[in-house]
A and B are shown apart, each in its own frame.
Chain A
């Protein structure tokens, strides 16, 4: 769309005149622009009466979320949504809540954001004496929205020593943070290769007995830190209620992520240098693993083919593009299209994938048993009456080869688009 605004004085006049018979349609056409426009002198003019729209019952409705009813208002609406965040700056925090996000892929993960939400609850509990959330970030990152996630202070430790698996170096750095800043709380995500490891090391270094698998906290004045937590124990089978210790490892969805405030994410530096730790663990780097070689039981996204797949080259190509692990039905294995260890089902592998994309599989009972713990099942099949369709969360009836090809094209386009945007 062109950036040059073209003005239509008549329509502007109609838009201002609520009594004009064409008023409603013009307002609808102009969207949000009707209440706010550039005056002849280049000054923004506002019409407070133009805010809102006529609802289906003929009653005027005002939407205070910042967006007006209207087709063209999408980009303006997004702008407004971001603008609605309140800026918060905590100058002199009463205490620090240290968070070590896992930063998977260089960005704050959903788990990190939940954890920061939890940190905010701890920090903001007493409005008189607010604490600050300190994030300790290791290595390079691509995140640019630390403030939006609720971080007041950002300690970015960028050094090659922290790259890869470097628990000893990271632990030394966190010990230095502890010495210098002495945060009241340490929060880490209890995620397999994020904070689960580092958090436990830190706790023992600080001689604390950490709470692990925390998923809920509530204020309790009788405990040393003023909080109680509920934590999962014994392989997810127990809830342990205990006073919140200084070091807590929290599960995903332990709190709502921050979405109403924007924080300063003010950079912070340690004054003393971190002693370099003698490392007995050396990271030799990631090993190239063929996505097709990932064990079926471990895979979180499986593209599974059955009797209805005719174009196996297309199928393998789709699996590669989607980054999915390949599975197969018994028939496909019996017919020699897939190796036996790729067979999904009661007689093959019981899979636990988050998404199971079944292509041309009618869904024998044994097969359905094998996928019963899958979160989402998507089926592509020609036969709308087959059992797999009944099981599927989403089913598309049609030619599997065409649909897969279209899906592959879309995924490639989406990836391309992302790369352009980045």
Chain B
């Protein structure tokens, strides 16, 4: 094996997720995808080491969610123990700076708390490392330079080269996480270290409420006359759900479909 093919050190930052329907704690989807990516990298570059890192309070609920990551096949998770409502960024930055890995992988956004997706950027800014978002795959790592595929909308991909050490964030385009197995999750170790924590005062001042349903924007009809507006409104009513065109020619049918495709803007 060539020397540049040597394994790298990868740290995966994971958070406690929240199921969108029931709100139960779980492994966060994007973080789990990040870990999946790291495990794939470990396979691709033998000798790589994957470390799991989480900063937050230790509770039964959190622990079971964190063990969800361990069930993907890791032995330990480093837990930087902090009080609820603390700012995780300084603790994580300090921990990463003390023993810098070559690659830090994190999900784009957390499923709890502010969930602003700032964490990777804040770490990159503090550590002075380059950051790539929307990662889909790591193609290769050679001579301290990683070749990555970044996900663009509609399944498109962009190839990037980034100098390590770097932070990458993954979203839903990264490979889906493998199943978490009960046995390894139960056996694995949570290595907890208490760290000093600053409370996130700003967050505490904000008002948090369960998300309201956003009002659906009415279709604004750019019609010049009342008649056109009326026509547009009437056409919408008749074109609403469950319209069935029977006994029309193929062209008429195709026209109706084309109209819908144009309205939805999926034709490019």
Contacts and interface: CB of A to CB of B under 8 A. Distances in A.
A267 to B, nearest CB: 28
Contacts, number: 258
A192 interface: yes
B115 A165 contact: no
B90 to A, nearest CB: 14
Contact of A355 (B111, B222, B244, B260): B260
Given A165-B160, A193-B152, A209 B202 contact: yes
Interface residues on B, range: 35 or more
A168 B171 CA distance: 21
Interface in A379-404: 380, 384, 389-390, 392-399, 402-404
B161 A281 contact: yes
A205 B206 contact: no
A94 interface: no
Interface in B235-261: 239-251, 253-258, 260-261
Interface stretch (A150-158, A231-239, A335-343): A231-239
A172 interface: no
A397 B256 CA distance: 12
B159 A285 contact: yes
Contact of B260 (A197, A378, A402, A406): A378
A215 interface: yes
Contact of B117 (A164, A196, A241): A196
A200 B156 contact: no
B98 interface: no
A22 to B, nearest CB: 23
B173 to A, nearest CB: 7
Contacts of A323: 266-268
A1 B209 CA distance: 60
A392 B243 CA distance: 8
28 contacts: A67-B228, A81-B222, A200-B117, A203-B121, A204-B125, A212-B118, A233-B116, A235-B18, A235-B115, A237-B18, A238-B211, A239-B211, A240-B206, A242-B207, A281-B130, A281-B163, A283-B160, A286-B157, A298-B172, A300-B154, A376-B264, A393-B240, A396-B253, A403-B250, A403-B253, A406-B255, A410-B251, A410-B258
Given A65-B223, A286-B159, A397-B244, 11 more contacts: A63-B226, A65-B224, A200-B121, A211-B116, A234-B111, A235-B18, A235-B109, A281-B161, A298-B155, A397-B245, A411-B261
Interface of B: 17-18, 20, 23, 109-118, 121-122, 124-125, 130-134, 147, 149-150, 152-163, 166, 171-173, 202, 205-212, 214, 217, 220, 222-228, 239-251, 253-258, 260-262, 264, 266-268
